[in-house]
Amino acid sequence: MGKSTTQKFGENMKMKMSKPKDVDSYIANSGREARPKLKEIRKIIKSTIPKVEEGISWGVPFYKYHGVLLGFAAYKNHVSFGFCVVLQSEDRKMLKKKGYITGKKTIQIKFDQKVPTTAIKQILKAKAKMNEAKRAIK
């Protein structure tokens, strides 16, 4: 069976740092070009889902809200933003049309690209609702 997105984040991380103790240290020890994108993504996550739990899992910033939500990582030429759910095909098509590279669960944001704030907020809200619904069923 394949590895999860979060495991891939940790193993493929292209950073020169020891295991970070928190998200602040992860961002501070990331490459200079990556820091503004990481800070912006973090702000989007926390403002969209105010009760999100923030931490480090698999060596990268990771977020939970009634279950696993997402993580992000800095690489040499981009920041990768990974959800723990497959992105809807229409979201992937829209992001690709705007020049972003997407995977089944990920969005790559190159350092010269704007963070797709609206798309990220929409996906976050939808995933948070899914997690809330799953929790209500239990």
Q: Burial of 126 by CB count in 10 Å (0-12 exposed, 13-18 middle, 19+ buried)?
A: middle
Query: Residue 78: phi, psi to the nearest 5?
Result: -165, 175
What is the predicted pLDDT for the residue at 15?
44
User: Quick one: which of 114, 124, 101, 102 has its CA closest to 37?
Assistant: 114
- Which amino acid would we find at residue 7? Q
What is the predicted pLDDT for the residue at 103?
94
What is the predicted pLDDT for the residue at 138?
66
What is the predicted pLDDT for the residue at 1?
40
Token duo for residue 99: 């020049």
How far is residue 94's CA from residue 119's CA, in Å, rounded to a whole number?
A: 9
Mean pLDDT by 10 residues, the chain (138 residues): 42 56 96 96 97 95 94 96 89 94 96 95 93 82
What is the predicted pLDDT for the residue at 134?
83
**Which DSSP string do the residues of 48-64 spell out, in sequence order?**
HSTT-EEEEETTEEEEE
What is the predicted pLDDT for the residue at 62?
96
Name residue, tokens 């990974």: 82
What is the predicted pLDDT for the residue at 2?
43
- CATH code for the structural domain at 5-137: 3.90.1150.200
Token duo for residue 96: 């690709």
Which 8-state DSSP code applies to residue 123? H
Domain positions in the chain: 5-137
